[in-house]
Amino acid sequence: MSAQSPGGSIRTERSARARYRAIRGGVFYALFLGSILVGIAGLLALLIDVFMDGLPWLNWSFITSYPSRHANQSGILAALVGSMWVVGLTAAFSIPVGLATAVYLEEFAARNWLQRVIQVNIANLAGVPSIIYGLLGLAVFVQLLSMGRSVLAGALTMSLLVLPIVIIASQEAIRAVPGSYRHAAYALGATRWQVVKGVVLPQAIPGVMSGIILALSRAIGESAPMIAISALVFLTFVPNSPGDKFTVLPIQIFNWISLPQADFKGVASAGIIVLLAVLLTMNAGAIWIRNKYQKRRNE
Amino acid sequence: MRFSARHTLLPAALFFALALAAACGGGNGGSETGLSGSIDIDGSSTVFPITQAVAEEFRKTQNKVQVPVGVSGTGGGFKRFVTGETVINDASRPIKPSEVEAAKANGIEFIELEVALDGVAIVTNSQATFVDCLTVAELRTIWAPGSKVNNWNQVRSSFPDAPLRLYGPGTDSGTFDYFTEVINGTEDASRADYTASEDDNVLVQGISGDRSSLGYFGYAFYAENSARIRLLGVDAGKGCVKPTRETINTGTYAPLSRHLYIYVNKKSLERPEVKAFVEFYLKEASILAEEVGYVALPASDYQAGLSKIR
C-alpha cells in the first residue's frame, strides 16, 4: 500500500505509525510498571507495619525465652526450634522422594496411561487445600500409625503437602535439560542411570533448588495442617527427638494475635519478623547453593 | 559421577545440620524437689490465659515437669480428654451429656473444678449513645434463630431508625454455646447472619469501626479495649446491670456471668506431679485469674475444689 504512495507520504505515514507504536509501548510499560508496584507497595506496607509494631519487642531474650503471660517476658524459642525441626525433617523426607519421583516420571516411566494418571493426580494434589492434609495426617500418622502429636507426624504431614510442589518443579527442571545432552551421553555408551546421574541431574539441580525453596517456604508458613496435628501454644521445652511434642511459629503468632492485651500484637509482630528472618535465611542458603552449581555448570 | 553425588547430598546435609543445631538449642537446669513428667492440657482458648499463667508459675517451682497447653476449643479439647489423651481440659462451659457418655465408654472418670468467673459483655460502638441497656427479651428478639431484626427501631421503638449490624463469636466457641443457651434457651440456636469470628480481637475491631453495631464476647476483651467500644448493661427483670468485677463475682450480672472450669482426669491425680499442679492451680487461680483479666471466685469455692481432689 505504502509502496504506491509518493516518497514524502511514506515518511509521514511511517512516523505516524512509529509514534502510535511508541505511545502504545509507553502505555503498556506504565501498566506493567504499575502492576509490579502494586505488589511491591503491598509488601512494603506490610513489612513497615510489622517492623514498626514488632521491632521494640525483638531482642535476644525474645529468641531464647518460652511464652509467658507477660508480653515483655514472652519468647519464641519453642516455636522457633519446633519449626526448624519440622522443616528440617520435611526436607529430609520430601526432597529424596520428590526428586526420585520426578526422575522416574521424566526419565524412566513409559509414556502410557498409567504415567498420565499419576501426572494428573500429582497436579491435582498440588491444589488440595492444606487443612485436608492436616486431617489426613491426624487420621493416618497421629492415630492409625500412633505416632502421637509428634514432630515426626507433623513433618510427614508437611512432606505430603509439599511433595507435589517438589515433584512438579523437579520435573520442569529435568525437562529443561536439552535432549542433545542425553543423546551425546548415550552415544558414548552410558547407561540410562549413568545419563541421569551424570548428565541430567547436575544440569537440573538449579531448577530443582528453586522448587525446594518454594516448597520449604510453604512448609514453614503453613498453620492450618499444623493446628490439626498440634494446637499447642504454651510449651516450655524444645523437642529433642522426632517423637516429642512441638509447636510451630505460625501457631504461636496466631495465638498471640488473638490475646486481648494490646502488647501481644507487638509480640506477634516480633514473631512475624523472626518467621521472615528464618524464611529469608533458608531461601538465601538455597539460592547460594543454586548459584554455586549454576556457575560450575557454566565453567 | 563423584561430582553429581555431591550435588544432591549437599542441600539435604544443610537442612540436617539446621535441624541438629536447632535440637541442641534449648535445655533446662536441674529441679529442686524432683517431680517430673508431662501434664498434657488442651481446651478452651478463653481459659487458656489462666492455665498458661498457672503453668508458667508452676514451672518456677517444678522445672522438670512439662506442661504443654493447647487451644483446640472447649469441645475440641473434650474430644481428646474423653479418650485419655489429655489429663486436664480447659472448659468455658460445663461438660455436655454426650461428652460424659463418651468418657464413660472409655472408662475415663473426671473431676470438675471451677477456676474463675467470666462475664459475656454486650457491646456497641462508642457513638451509639442512645442505648444504655438491653433486656434479656430484647437480646432474644435480636439473636433468635431466623430473626429478621435489622434495624435498631425494631428492637425498641424509642431507638433511632438505624441499621443494626451484628458481631459475635463463631460456633466453635464456648462463649457462643453459653450465650445461645442463656439468651435463646437452646444451646447453639442462633441466627446465622452475623459477622462471626473465633478471634475476639476481630470482633472488637469490627464493632469499633461500625457505628451501627452490636456484639458480644468475653468481658476480658472489653476490659482491654474499653476506650474503643461501649459497654451495655443487661436487664433480666431486676434492673439494668453492667458487668464489672463486682457484679460478675456476686452473680448480679445475670444471666451472662459464667463459670470457667478445668476438668481433671481422676486417675491422673494418682501421679504426684498432676496432683501438685492441680493443687497449685486452685491455690494461685484467684490471683492469676485477675491478673489476666478474669474475675476470681470467692475463696471458699477454691477450698471446695481442693477438698474435691484430696
- The radius of gyration computed from the CA coordinates of chain B, to the nearest angstrom, equals 23
Contacts of A133 (CB under 8 A, 6+ apart): A157, A158, A160, A161, A225
**pLDDT above 80 (res B41):** yes
Q: How far is A80 from chain B (nearest CA, A)?
A: 8
The residue of chain B with its CA nearest to that of A260 is: B221
Confidence of residue A18 (pLDDT cuts 50, 70, 90): confident
Tell me what the mean pLDDT of segment B41-56 comes to: 90
**pLDDT above 80 (res A8):** no
Instruction: Provide the percentage of residues in chain A whose pLDDT is more than 90.
Output: 30
> Which of residues 212 through 231 in chain A touch B, CB cutoff 8 A?
212, 216, 230-231
Q: How far is B157 from chain A (nearest CA, A)?
A: 35
> Other C-beta atoms within 10 Å of A18: how many?
10
**pLDDT above 50 (res B31):** no
- The reported pLDDT for the residue numbered A299 is 55
Q: How far is B159 from chain A (nearest CA, A)?
A: 31
Q: Is B74 exposed, middle or buried (0-12, 13-18, 19+ CB in 10 A)?
A: buried
Q: How far is CA A103 from CA A21, A172, A214, A225, B185, in A?
A: 46, 11, 19, 28, 62
- Please report, as a single letter, which amino acid is at residue A203: Q
Tell me what the mean pLDDT of segment B273-283 comes to: 91
Residue ranges per structural domain of chain A: 2-56, 61-298
Chain B touched by A77 (CB under 8 Å)? yes
Fold match, B37-117+259-309 / B118-257: yes
Tell me what the mean pLDDT of segment B48-62 comes to: 90
The residue of chain B with its CA nearest to that of A203 is: B4
Tell me what the mean pLDDT of segment B6-21 comes to: 45
Q: Does domain B118-257 have CATH number 3.40.190.10?
A: yes
pLDDT tens profile B64-84? 888 999 888 888 889 989 999
Tell me what the mean pLDDT of segment B209-235 comes to: 88
Q: Between chains, do A236 and B10 touch, taking CB under 8 Å as contact?
A: no
pLDDT tens profile A224-245? 888 888 878 888 888 888 888 8
Confidence of residue B225 (pLDDT cuts 50, 70, 90): confident
- The reported pLDDT for the residue numbered B28 is 40
Tell me what the mean pLDDT of segment A93-122 comes to: 90
Tell me what the mean pLDDT of segment B99-109 comes to: 92
Most confident of A166-175, A289-298, B12-21: A166-175
Q: What is the ipTM of this complex?
A: 0.74
Tell me what the mean pLDDT of segment B283-307 comes to: 88
**pLDDT above 80 (res A296):** no
3-state secondary structure at position B269? helix
Chain B touched by A162 (CB under 8 Å)? no
Q: Between chains, do A232 and B293 touch, taking CB under 8 Å as contact?
A: no
Confidence of residue A7 (pLDDT cuts 50, 70, 90): low
DSSP for chain A, written as a single string: -GGGS-HHHHHHHHHHHHHHHHHHHHHHHHHHHHHHHHHHHHHHHHHHHHHHHHGGG-SHHHHH----SSGGG---HHHHHHHHHHHHHHHHHHHHHHHHHHHIIIIIS-SSHHHHHHHHHHHHHTTS-HHHHHHHHIIIIIIIT---SBHHHHHHHHHHHHHHHHHHHHHHHHHTS-HHHHHHHHHTT--HHHHIIIIIHHHHHHHHHHHHHHHHHHHHH--HHHHHH--EEE-SS---STTSB---HHHHHHHHHTSSSTHHHHHHHHHHHHHHHHHHHHHHHHHHHHHHHHHHHH-
- The reported pLDDT for the residue numbered B218 is 86
Q: Using CB atoms, which residue from A69, A88, A235 is nearest to B292?
A: A69
Tell me what the mean pLDDT of segment B15-26 comes to: 44
> Other C-beta atoms within 10 Å of B212: how many?
17
Q: How far is B116 from chain A (nearest CA, A)?
A: 17
HEC states along A1-64? CHHHCCHHHHHHHHHHHHHHHHHHHHHHHHHHHHHHHHHHHHHHHHHHHHHHHHHHHCCHHHHH
**A232 with A247: CB under 8 angstroms?**
yes
* Average pLDDT across chain A, whole number: 86
Stronger pLDDT, A14 or A222, i.e. the higher one: A222
> Which of residues 225 through 264 in chain B touch A, CB cutoff 8 A?
225
The residue of chain A with its CA nearest to that of B59 is: A236
- The reported pLDDT for the residue numbered A54 is 86
**pLDDT above 50 (res B21):** no
Chain A touched by B205 (CB under 8 Å)? no
Q: Between chains, do A231 and B42 touch, taking CB under 8 Å as contact?
A: yes
Q: Between chains, do A205 and B8 touch, taking CB under 8 Å as contact?
A: yes
> Which of residues 62 through 91 in chain B touch A, CB cutoff 8 A?
66-72, 76
Contacts of A85 (CB under 8 A, 6+ apart): A151, A155, A239, A242, A246, B19, B22, B23
What residues in A contact B56, CB-CB < 8 Å?
Answer: 67-69, 234, 236
pLDDT tens profile A24-77? 889 999 999 999 999 999 999 999 999 988 888 888 888 888 888 888 888 888
Among B151, B177, B182, CA closest to B254: B182
Q: Between chains, do A92 and B16 touch, taking CB under 8 Å as contact?
A: yes
Longest dimension (CA), chain B: 87
Q: How far is CA A179 from the centre of its chain?
A: 28
Tell me what the mean pLDDT of segment B123-132 comes to: 89
d(CA B308, CA B310): 6
What residues in B contact A235, CB-CB < 8 Å?
Answer: 68-69
Confidence of residue B9 (pLDDT cuts 50, 70, 90): very low
- The reported pLDDT for the residue numbered B7 is 46
Q: Between chains, do A77 and B25 touch, taking CB under 8 Å as contact?
A: yes
pLDDT tens profile B189-212? 898 889 888 778 888 888 988 888
Contacts of B67 (CB under 8 A, 6+ apart): A234, A236, B38, B39, B41, B55, B58, B59, B277
The CATH H-level superfamily of A61-298 is MetI-like (1.10.3720.10)
Q: Between chains, do B18 and A84 touch, taking CB under 8 Å as contact?
A: yes
Q: Between chains, do A88 and B49 touch, taking CB under 8 Å as contact?
A: no
Which of B71, B89, B90, B200 to probe by mutation at the A interface, max A CB count within 10 Å?
B71
> Which of residues 145 through 204 in chain B touch A, CB cutoff 8 A?
198-201
Supply angle C-alpha A253, B257, B201, rounded to 5: 25
Q: Between chains, do A245 and B68 touch, taking CB under 8 Å as contact?
A: yes
> In residues, how long is chain B?
310
Q: Between chains, do B49 and A205 touch, taking CB under 8 Å as contact?
A: no
Tell me what the mean pLDDT of segment B33-46 comes to: 84
> Which of residues 22 through 51 in chain B touch A, CB cutoff 8 A?
22-23, 25-28, 38, 42, 45, 48-49, 51
**pLDDT above 80 (res A3):** no
- C-alpha cell, A133: 492434609
A-to-B residue pairs, Cβ atoms closer than 8 angstroms: 135
Q: Between chains, do B7 and A240 touch, taking CB under 8 Å as contact?
A: no
CATH tag for B37-117+259-309 (out of 3.40.50.970, 3.40.190.10, 1.20.1050.10, 3.40.640.10): 3.40.190.10
pTM over 0.90: no
> Which of residues 185 through 204 in chain A touch B, CB cutoff 8 A?
194, 197-198, 201-202
- The reported pLDDT for the residue numbered A245 is 85
pLDDT tens profile A23-39? 988 999 999 999 999 99
Q: Between chains, do A289 and B11 touch, taking CB under 8 Å as contact?
A: yes
The DSSP code for B268 is G
Chain A touched by B15 (CB under 8 Å)? yes
Residue ranges per structural domain of chain B: 37-117+259-309, 118-257
* Average pLDDT across chain B, whole number: 84
**pLDDT above 80 (res A297):** no
- The reported pLDDT for the residue numbered A110 is 83
The DSSP code for B270 is G
Contacts of A182 (CB under 8 A, 6+ apart): A195, A199, A200
